[in-house]
Amino acid sequence: MRVTAIDQVELTGTLTELSVTWVGAPARRGLPVSFNQGNHLRAQRSGRGAWLAGRVRLPAAHPDPSRVAGAVARVLREHDALRASFTVSVVPTQDVFDATQVQVRPRVVGRVWHGFVESLLTQRCRAGDVPGIFFGILDDTVICAFDHAHADAITIDLVLRRLCEYYIDPTTPRRPTLSFADRCLIDAAEASSPSRCLDADSTRLMQVWHDFFTLTEGAVPAFPLCLGTGRAPQRTVIVALLTQSECAELLSDLSFATILSALAAAVADVGGPERLATLIPIHTRGSRTSGWHSTAGWLVSNAPVVVNAGDPTSATTWLRHASELAGLPLDHVLAQCRPHLPTEDVFMVSYLDYRKFGPALPGGQHISAVTSTDTAQFWFTRSEGGLELRVRHPARPVADGVIAGLLTALHRRLRQPRPLALPAP
């Protein structure tokens, strides 16, 4: 999977839209949304919406639109997160259509250019609209796109895989999944429970957050290098960092810890601090035996990390808490710790190993919208091709220079010999 953005790909070709409509009124109304969905929907009220898309090549030069429509309908029937509509308000909610209410019909659009496709995705994928999603055939590829409230990165991979499977063999058995809407109900009940974080384990995990915010002087950490002031249009930078053979040689089994320590060292090399504090996204689907493992939706929490430059062990110390912290409601964390936010967007570092999800998708791309930002965000991805990085930062000369210098230092740091990072006791 190539993690990219709409300004880094070319979506020109012959387009057939798989037009999605819902028949009747939603079967379930007024359901709560997840913490991340709520933040996204409130941001959309001020015009800062965003969508996610994916693209995969089908095993036919001219895919059969009816067959693709059937695959799309199956995916939508199986995942209620993709059948949701949202109220964009101070207290967002979601309504969910039943699996029997979906209709998917091919609509020939014809020859289109990239700008048209980008505008179409932006028009279709708005959380306040119904359905807020898009499917289409572009030449020999199928595209899926969702307002971010419907999906996270793993959802994009999951949907592309199912579309390929169901197109190749419409009799492919369904994988059992649990309902995302039910998960939102469970999480909302836990978040609203006054006693949810009073047990010994929750108290211990909350102390990890308190320790983190003590180190950051009570702030959600900002990117530690100067990128200029205020929001600006987004710049996307995508770089190949290591080949597959270099990954095998240079990355330990604790890949993310090694990457974080190299990033911290690179930040220090270009004038930043010797210690890097950031947030990392943690997916909350659980293990392969979890009923949520194959559920579409926005199943992500956050965990704190503080890493010393060039020291993977320091990152490992924080990462060992990450999966446990994912179960701690962020509403409770914010209420107890009350951190201040120096930028509107959050400085974060993500790592996702797509090899865990199955064989490489032919021509697989994760495509994000391009909006605006006031900080830097980093997405490291591992695939059969090696290690890549996508960076999102403000498009202004000072930021361009800082990020270019940082990436040069990161290339160098990743290739330095280092001792194997051992798990913390």
Q: Are 227 and 394 in contact (CB under 8 A)?
A: yes
**Encoded tokens for 20:** 């999605």
Beta bridge partners of 16: 108, 137
pLDDT for residue 186: 93
Which pair of tokens denotes residue 212?
A: 């983190």
In terms of Cβ atoms closer than 10 Å to its own Cβ (0-12, 13-18, 19+), residue 191 is middle
Q: In what order do the strands lie in the sheet with 348-353?
A: 300-308, 275-283, 348-353, 377-383, 386-394, 232-243, 372-373
Closest Cα partner for 362 from 193, 113, 142? Answer: 142
Would you say 102 and 77 are in contact if contact means Cβ atoms under 8 Å apart? Answer: yes
Task: Please name the amino acid found at residue 405.
Answer: G
pLDDT at residue 44, rounded to an integer: 83
| Distance set, CA 112 to CA 88, 121, 134, 213 (Å) | 31, 13, 16, 50
What are the φ and ψ backbone dihedral angles of 144, each rounded to 5 degrees?
A: -120, 145
Question: Which domains occur in the chain, in start order?
Answer: 2-184 (3.30.559.10), 197-414 (3.30.559.30)
Q: What is the CA radius of gyration of the chain?
A: 21
pLDDT tens, per residue, the chain with 425 residues:
999 999 999 999 999 999 999 999 999 999 999 999 999 999 888 777 799 999 999 998 899 999 999 999 999 999 999 999 999 888 999 999 999 999 999 999 999 999 999 999 999 999 888 899 999 999 999 999 999 999 999 999 999 999 999 999 999 998 889 999 999 999 999 888 777 677 888 899 999 999 999 999 999 999 999 999 999 999 999 999 999 999 999 987 789 999 999 999 999 999 999 999 999 999 999 888 899 999 999 999 999 999 999 999 999 999 998 888 988 989 899 999 999 999 999 999 999 999 999 999 999 999 999 999 999 999 999 999 999 999 999 999 999 999 999 999 999 999 986 554 444 44
The predicted model scores a pTM of 0.95
Q: What is the 3-state secondary structure (H, E, C) of 17-62?
A: EEEEEECCCCCEEEEECCHHHHHHHHHHHCCCCCEEEEEEECCCCC
Query: Nearest CA to 55 among 181, 150, 211, 164?
Result: 164
Amino acid at 280: I
Say how many Å lie between the first and final Cα of the chain, rounded. 34
Distant-in-sequence, close-in-space partners of 366: CB < 8 Å, separation ≥ 6: 1, 2, 3, 4, 52, 53, 54, 153, 156, 157
Residue 38 CA to residue 291 CA, distance in Å, equals 24
What is residue 323's predicted lDDT score, i.e. its pLDDT?
A: 83
